[in-house]
Amino acid sequence: MERWNLSTGSEKETMELGFCLGALIDRPLIVLLSGDLGAGKTCFSRGLARGLGVPEEVPVASPSYTLMNSYNGRLELHHFDLYRLSEPEELLDLGLEDYLPGGGVAVIEWADIFTGLARQYLAVHMSHQGPDQRLLECAAAGSCALNLLQRWRRQWLRQSAGAGCF
Ligand SMILES: Nc1ncnc2c1ncn2[C@@H]1O[C@H](COP(=O)(O)OP(=O)(O)OP(=O)(O)O)[C@@H](O)[C@H]1O
Ligand SMILES: [Mg+2]
């Protein structure tokens, strides 16, 4: 399991980090997001969607009520929010496995309930460090996700030394 920890200092920076990852995704992937209420999971997901090619004019909103929203980018994006699920079995009712590994990208907020159900994934745990400061603890399982994590880190470090992702 490869790990990478970093901090962001604003909503914009978290979106840029998500964008940076989204822009590198070139094959189906599961992204597991966890962390406190308001940690920035939706913000990160929105940036990832833009990086994956979901157009600016398409709103990427929290799927808290719908449980899942799908978008067309370079790959299809399925954005889940499992906050309201209490039993892992409900995942089956939701049809989540129909999307996985599938041909698209699944980004799953409140993914803790999902842990152990996937063998290959990129996981990001987000927590508050200050009003605008967030700690992101990133980990990869499986060779594709591991490779992606390494490319993401390299790209982010290169860009944050320069102009940023946008
Ligand atoms: N560094 C930061 N990264 C992300 N969001 C930040 C940051 N600093 C402040 N914020 C604020 O924190 C909030 C993050 O909200 P967001 O909906 O993305 O969180 P969430 O983890 O998806 O919440 P929920 O658990 O309700 O789904 C926003 O209001 C955003 O402006
Ligand atoms: Mg959210």
pTM attached to this predicted model: 0.93
Q: What is the mean pLDDT of the chain?
A: 90
Closest CA to 23 of 49, 60, 43, 51: 51
DSSP letters for 80-114: EE-TT--STTHHHHHTHHHHSSSSSEEEEESGGGG
Q: Which residue among 17, 42, 108, 109 has the greatest number of ligand 1 atoms within 8 angstroms of its CB, and so is best to mutate?
A: 42
Question: Using one digit for the tens of pLDDT, what is the confidence trace for 145-165?
Answer: 999 999 999 999 999 887 655
Superfamily of 2-160 according to CATH: P-loop containing nucleotide triphosphate hydrolases (3.40.50.300)
What amino acid occupies position 128? Answer: H
CA atoms within 13 A on the CB side of 28: 8
Residue list, ligand 1 pocket, CB within 6 Å:
8-11, 13-14, 37-43, 62, 109, 132, 134
The candidate with the shortest Cα–Cα distance to 45, out of 136, 114, 130, 116, is 136
